[in-house]
Amino acid sequence: MNAAELREFLNRDPFEPFRILLTSGDRYDIIDPISVAVGKNRAFAFFTDRDAWTFFAYLHVAAVEGLGNGPSRRSRGN
């Protein structure tokens, strides 16, 4: 994965929640596109449901999978 690929997932309209799986086995559910900041080599994600945050390097992304038809939230004035 790279920054452009992550932006594609985040900018889908309508937004579709997805899960990022890392090579470490960590998993991050992205349910709100504005909770992720995309950098050149890594991203920052904030999880309001558990008041937590993380950085992850694109190099360590093993897979991305959809979360199905779960609730989608888009808070960009739409």
- Whole-angstrom distance, CA of residue 33 vs CA of residue 47: 11
Whole-structure pTM value: 0.81
Element (H, E) at 9: helix 3-10
Question: pLDDT at position 48, please?
Answer: 85
Strand partners, 78: none
> Using one digit for the tens of pLDDT, what is the confidence trace for 1-51?
999 999 999 999 999 999 999 999 999 999 999 999 999 999 999 998 889
CATH number at residue 50: 2.30.30
> Using one digit for the tens of pLDDT, what is the confidence trace for 45-77?
999 888 999 999 999 999 999 998 654 444 334
Question: pLDDT at position 38, please?
Answer: 98
The answer to whether residue 73 is domain-embedded is no
- Whole-angstrom distance, CA of residue 24 vs CA of residue 26: 6
Instruction: State how many domains the chain has.
Output: 1
Q: Which of 75, 78, 77, 70 is nearest to 16 (CA)?
A: 70
Domain that holds residue 43: 3-66
The answer to whether residue 34 is domain-embedded is yes
Strand partners, 54: 45
Neighbours of 64 (CB within 10 A): 14
